[in-house]
Structures are given as C-alpha cells and as structure tokens.
Structure 1
Amino acid sequence: MRKDVVVLGAGIVGVSIAVHLQKRGRSVLLVDRRQPGLETSFGNAGLIQREGVYPYGFPHDFGALLRYALNNTIDAHYHLAALPKIAPFLFQYWMHSRPAQHKAIARLYAPLIEHSVTEHMALAEEAGSAQLIRPTGWMKVFRTDRAMEEQVRDAEQVKRDFGVNFVALDGRAVAEREPHLTADLKGGIHWTDPAAIYDPHALVMSYVELFERLGGEAAVGDARTLEQAAAGGWRLQTEKGPVDAGAVVVALGPWADAVTRRFGYRFPLAVKRGYHMHYKPKGNAVLNRPTLDFERGYFLAPMARGIRLTTGAEFADRDAPKTPVQLARAEPIAKAFFPLGERVDPEPWMGMRPCTPDMMPIIGPAPRHRNLWFGFGHAHHGMTLGPITGRLMAEMIVGETPVIDPKPYRPERF
C-alpha cells in the first residue's frame, strides 16, 4: 500500500488531521493500535472551551500547594512513587505557570482557542453530526462569596483581553438555569461562548466516517514499527500489510514518545490521568449544561449515557494501574450536589492527557527529519483543539498559508 500521508493516532487530533489532509487531496491512512476514539478522546468533560485561553496552570498560592501536598483532594492526586520521575516536569510546569509567564503564554495560545468552536462546527456540519454540539456554554458554581469574587475578577480580565463572554449569576439565577442542583450555592459564572458535546465518542466517529467518505482509509497498526524508507519516505507495518508513505504525522497523544524517542527527540511530555463515571439521574432531574463544583473540584456533564462525573488530574506513571480514589472522593459530594442515581458503567474509565511544561501543544515539522510531523501535547484541550490543529497541520503539510501563525507551537522550542 502506498499513501501520501500516514497519521499515527486516531483520537480527536489525529482524526481531524486526517480529515483535513484528505479534504486537500492527499491520500491518507489513519493508523491506531485500537479502533478510533477509544483513548483520551473517549473520556472528557465534553467541552469545546472557547473561554480556555489560559491553559490549566500549576498553582502558585501557598494554600493550594499545601492542600495538594496532603494528597486528599478531588481535583488533584499523585502517586508518591512517581514523583522522582516527574519532578523535573513539575518544576518546569510550575515555572511556566508564574503569573507573568502564564499571561504571556495565554497570548500565544489564544489564536488556537479562538478557532475552537468554529472549526468543530465546520467539521460537524460536514459530517452530519452538528446536533451533538450544543451551544449551552458551561457553568462554574461557587459555595463561598470569596471564591466567586476572585473568579469573577479573573473572568472579567479574560473578557477584556480576549473578548470571551460570560454572565455572573447570583444564587437565584443559578437555580433558574439549573433547578435540580441541591447544594447551597452563592452564585456562579456562565461562560456562554463555549459549546458542549453530548457524546464525544460519537462526534469523533462521525469525523472518522467523514474521512472515509472522502476516500480516506483506517487501519490497525503498531506505530513502533515506523522506519525511514528510501527517498525520504516512511514505512509502517499494519494489519493490511506494509505501508509506504511520503510523510508521517505523529498524533499519538500520551504515547507520542513511542515514536519520537526512537528518532532521537526527547520532549518533556508528561501525563495527567483522569477518570469518569456515568450515573442515571434520579426521578425527573435534569442537568441542562456542564457544571463545575468549583471548590470541590469535580465536574458534571449531561451525556448520552447519563450524567458524567469527571475528576481532576492524577500525576502518576502513564501505565500504572488505575487508582480512581478521586472518583470515590467526589461521588458522595456530587450526589449531595445533584440527584445522581445508580452507576451506569461497570467500572471507572481512565484516560491520560498529554502535557507539556509550557502548557501548549507541539505542532509542526520534526526539526531533524524530512516529512515527519508532530501534533500532540494538547493537555486538557485535546477535544477543544482537535479540528483547528487538524486544519493548521494540513495547511502546513500541503504548503497553504496557515490560518494562524504556527511558530509558538513549533517542536524545536524544546
């Protein structure tokens, strides 16, 4: 088999890259070790975070650091045995999260975020799945006046700097929007520009179907078999036999190092693991939009399978066994917050977010290899940024003028 491009990784980022390349007349093979959309893209909060111009940073206030050090929170958890290995990454992450540096990163990150909803909608409309993207925005609700005041100040700054819209709500207005919340809430912030995805896996699969309608092919294969071939090309082993390609895109998320290290690249990539569980709502209870219980650090989102409860970040070895302690901590609090019924899933789902210390993805050509491209490291915003990354990457590969300047995300910054 011969292809113009092989895309390694069939999550939302890899699928989006494959679609955009196929739309531009390239013959593309999309390769994964599993069926598409079953890894990190399967389990997430289902948000297209138009407001997320400030990527998730490492806290710098002493109180938060002390709270996380105790290792008993919902929004963060760590494996003690993993800390020596990930300590260099955490230190760099902390340094990049300093207020002035974080603000500078937001300026570089914002162009990607600004295209997140529009690029998703363009693909979804072409795929016939626009009904899976709902313009409800999402809410962050507060149990204390202090937390609300601080967060409203931050939201006002985001609106001034980046033009993202929100509505500050008192307790009564929160209850009007979400009448089945049962906690005593002081108020909330309703981010109105983001969109909510009702079934993230179904949306990814609709993009795969679009890719195949455009003439693209998908196959199961092992990215670790990638090798350089003659005349600057590449060869890979798949279930359909060996494949020769003119170019390869590595979009393997937290497994990118399976390829990059073999070719001499040492990116400071770490993972934040996360968990989810679905619940049936009790009685006639309805959750109208994704909602974050801010002080407690968990997230509820209405999904096709039920109400999805998602946890924060777990710092651990990528391949360590599941330890869903954050989910166990969150479940009783969430049930007192919203009338959750029985569990739907047989066991907690776990996924892994691929993170860089400067909180921005790695997008662009490999510095030392012709026709090798990188597209990974999207951290908490893989679902948000998949389609705009796909467009940007495809434009660079085929020689079009990129929709935004890709320089801030270039691999050689590391």
Structure 2
Amino acid sequence: MTDLKADILVLGAGMVGVSAALHLQQRGRDVILVDKHELAGEETSYGNSGMIECASIFPYMFPRNFGEIFRYAMNRAPAVRYRPADLPAVLPWLVRYYLASAPERAQRGAIGVLPLIRRSLIEHEALIAEAGVPELLRRIGWIKMFRSEATFGNAARDFERAGPYGVKGEILDNKAIAQREPHLSGEFAGALHFTEPGFVLDPGGLAKAYAALFKRKGGRFLVADATTLEQVSGGWRLRAADDAVVAREAVVALGPWSDLVFRPLGYSIPLAVKRGYHLHFKPRGNAVLNHPVLDSDQGFVLAPMNQGIRLTTGVEFARRDAPPTPLQLKRALPRARALFPLGEPIDATPWKGARPCLPDMLPVVGKAPRHAGLWFDFGHQHHGLTLGPATGRLLAEMMTGEAPFADPSPFAVERFD
C-alpha cells in the first residue's frame, strides 16, 4: 500500500462537496475528492426539484399554527409525513426543531443566511460557465400555486415581507397562471411566480459536470470509505482499496451521512434528515410544462427535467436508513395527474433521498473546534443545490485565510454546545 498525498481531503462528492473542492482548488490547494460512488452527485444532489432558490430567504421552519401542527400530528398533512415506527427516534429532534422555529430565532437565521442566498445563483453561473454546461441552467424562476384563499393570503403577506430583502416576483390570478402554464388544470386562489431563481434541468448531471471540471483542472477523485478517516501526525489519513491518502486537512461534506464521521470523533451535532421521493413521467400528448410548479396546498412539485416530468414529494420524517415508504408519492400521483397530463412513468421504482437538516435549518460550515485541520460543510436542508457553491466559497475563504464574503458565525458548530 502506498500513500497518496494532498493538501486537503474533501469527503463527499455531492453538490456541497464538489463545490468546496472547486473553490479550494481555485485557491491553489491540491485537493482529493472522496466518495463511495464512482460518480459525483449520485445521492441527495440527484433527487431535488432543481431550483437554485435565491428567492427563499426564510428557512423551512416548523409551523406555529396549532391547526397545522394537529394535522402533522395526525399524519394528515400532504406535504409532511412521519413513520410511526420511527417517531421515538425522531421526536427529540422535532422538539428542537420546534423551539428553533420561534419567530425571533427564525428571523436571525434568515438574516444570517441571506448573504449566501443572494450569492447562490452568481456562484453557480460562474461554475456553469467554467464547466461549459450552460444548457443545464434556465433563468425562468418557479411558480407556487395555492388552492385556498387562506394559504394564498398568508403567502402573499410573506411575499410582501420578503420584498425589502430583494425578493422579486409576480402575483398571478387564474388567467395569468394559464398564460404561463396552459396545460395545467384546476381552479386556484392565486399563485406566486418567483422570477429570479434559476432552474437546473439535471441536478445530478450538474454535480457531475462540476466534478469533471475539478478533474480537468488537476483534481483527483477517489472511491473510498469516508468512515476510515483518522487523525495522524501532521494531518488526516483515509484508507482506500489499494492506497492510503494523507492530507493536512479534511472537510466533512457527507450530507446526511456526515454523522458517520463526526460522531466517532466525539461531536454531538443534532443532524437529522427529511426524506423525500420522486418519480419521472412522460407528458401525455403534446403537453408541456414550462416551469417548476409547487402545488402548495397538496404538497408536491412538478418539474420539467431532462429525464422527464419529475414528481417530487414533501417531507418524510424517518430514520435515514429505514426502508422506503413512498406513501406520499402514491397519494400525490392522482392529484398531480389532475393538475398536469402525466403519461407513463419512466422510472421502474421511486427514488428515495434524505435532506440533511439541523434544527435551525442552517448548515454547519467552519472549523471543527477540537481537531486541528478538520472542517465541516453539511446540513444544507432543502438547499444543498442552492447553497453548495456559496458555502464552498465561504469555507475555502476561511480555510485559506481570506476575508470571508459573509459572516460565518451563524454556521459555526459551536452554536450547538
């Protein structure tokens, strides 16, 4: 066995890890990117709705309305479900999530993450141009539709509240919805068209394009088990099939699997997951979907991906590795067919993924306090695709001694001490 040497090991080749590797490489560091798969973007980064969400400045917080909480508790909310068998395991984290969602705490979180949200599309556009894949990005925004006057009214007020933070969009009536999406069916109280976000036609493909750019620029990609990471004299060591890899520094960017590395090192970080499912369909006849569309009251997204029309569910609270239970997808499908003329499914089985979440819905980005040369970059909740390049830049600036473009303190792991 020989030793491969590098300046930095980045563990995890999803959007977050690949972006961090690229930003470190841009700053002259010799980086080895490590993943259990032979290709980048095969896990959480593959299965999202494709939106670079520079309009979502308020994190996805736990509701404060009793009626909505009751529906969640009874498992009646279409956008949220829990596995009863897993409730004892996830309930303590849900309590922390509820407490962290208090309005004043949620407001502080929104202000803290705002510089990253504002930078998200800019950082993606720079990497997309360098990677040579402009065809994967559309500047079309997305549409959030509401069937009830009450939910639409609440959303319109939130939209007005977001205006001073630079969020732009249009309020749509049924006629305007039909003009933008002529093949949708149904009566709606209204909709919001967020016009600035980007839409990625193949999120997993974009992560692979970024990884290909990383390798073209001299970066190395290694298939290995990240759980073999150990601290050694002068840095960190990782075992691979035929080699060992040694570097001065290591970055944990393993998304929902980050705990497999940080827990053995003694860190008690409240990382949990929100699971989700998707399935691709052919459109029937000549039907076309022009934008990603969220049916807010019924809890699903339809997005026009390269692979087909992607039907994406909301949140399932369950253990990360529990067997799949795609009940939300089954319930959403007839509603989705009523909204848009979906044809035959393209996938043989539904895809299942896990969004890595901290109770305050902010990622952990920064230095591990008790281990020299160890850094964290995980917990991006619903916004891994959105925030990956922005947090990659922030982390790289911190690691190389540059002045960070945003205040990193809201993302420090010490906030959970």
Question: Normalized against structure 2, the TM-score is what?
Answer: 0.97
Question: In structure 2, what is the Cα distance between the partners aligned to 1:412 and 1:360?
Answer: 13
The question of 1:12 aligning with 2:15 is answered: yes
Equivalent residue letter for 2:232: A
- Residue in 2 aligned with 1:322? 324
User: Tell me, what secondary structure is at the counterpart of 2:44?
Assistant: coil
CA contact (8 A) 1:74 1:327 kept: no
Identity %: 53
User: Tell me, what secondary structure is at the counterpart of 1:236?
Assistant: strand
Structure 2 counterpart of 1:146, from 144, 150, 164: 150
Equivalent residue letter for 2:390: I
Question: In structure 2, what is the Cα distance between the partners aligned to 1:397 and 1:239?
Answer: 29
User: Tell me, what secondary structure is at the counterpart of 2:42?
Assistant: coil
User: Tell me, what secondary structure is at the counterpart of 1:345?
Assistant: coil
**Per-residue Cα deviation, 1:108-162 (whole angstroms, up to 9, x for no partner):** 12111111110111111110112211100000012122222221111010112x1
The question of 1:118 aligning with 2:105 is answered: no
CA contact (8 A) 1:20 1:390 kept: yes
CA contact (8 A) 1:183 1:338 kept: no
Structure 1 counterpart of 2:63, from 41, 59, 65: 59
1:100 Cα deviation after fit: 2.3
Equivalent residue letter for 1:21: L
* 182-191 vs 72-81, which moves further: 72-81
Question: In structure 2, what is the Cα distance between the partners aligned to 1:86 and 1:145?
Answer: 33
Question: In structure 1, what is the Cα distance between the partners aligned to 2:240 and 2:40?
Answer: 15
Question: In structure 1, what is the Cα distance between the partners aligned to 2:146 and 2:76?
Answer: 20
Structural mapping, 1:87-106, within 5 Å = 87-106=91-110
User: Tell me, what secondary structure is at the counterpart of 2:18?
Assistant: helix
Structure 1 counterpart of 2:48, from 44, 50, 53: 44
- Residue in 1 aligned with 2:225? 222
Question: Normalized against structure 1, the TM-score is what?
Answer: 0.98
Give the length in aligned residue pairs.
412
CA contact (8 A) 2:109 2:410 kept: no
Question: In structure 2, what is the Cα distance between the partners aligned to 1:146 and 1:369?
Answer: 50
**Per-residue Cα deviation, 1:219-258 (whole angstroms, up to 9, x for no partner):** 1101111111112x11101235101101000000111111
Equivalent residue letter for 2:36: R
Structure 1 counterpart of 2:387, from 385, 388, 399: 385
- Residue in 2 aligned with 1:258? 260
1:309 Cα deviation after fit: 0.4
Question: In structure 1, what is the Cα distance between the partners aligned to 2:288 and 2:75?
Answer: 33
The question of 1:168 aligning with 2:171 is answered: yes
Structure 1 counterpart of 2:83, from 53, 66, 79: 79
- Over aligned residues, Cα RMSD in angstroms? 0.9
Structural mapping, 1:206-217, within 5 Å = 206-217=209-220
CA contact (8 A) 1:236 1:244 kept: yes
1:84 Cα deviation after fit: 1.5
* 398-407 vs 244-253, which moves further: 398-407
User: Tell me, what secondary structure is at the counterpart of 2:34?
Assistant: strand
Question: In structure 1, what is the Cα distance between the partners aligned to 2:211 and 2:62?
Answer: 34
CA contact (8 A) 1:73 1:326 kept: no
Q: Which runs of 5+ in 1 are unaligned?
A: none
- Residue in 2 aligned with 1:205? 208
User: Tell me, what secondary structure is at the counterpart of 1:205?
Assistant: helix
1:265 Cα deviation after fit: 0.3
User: Tell me, what secondary structure is at the counterpart of 1:263?
Assistant: coil
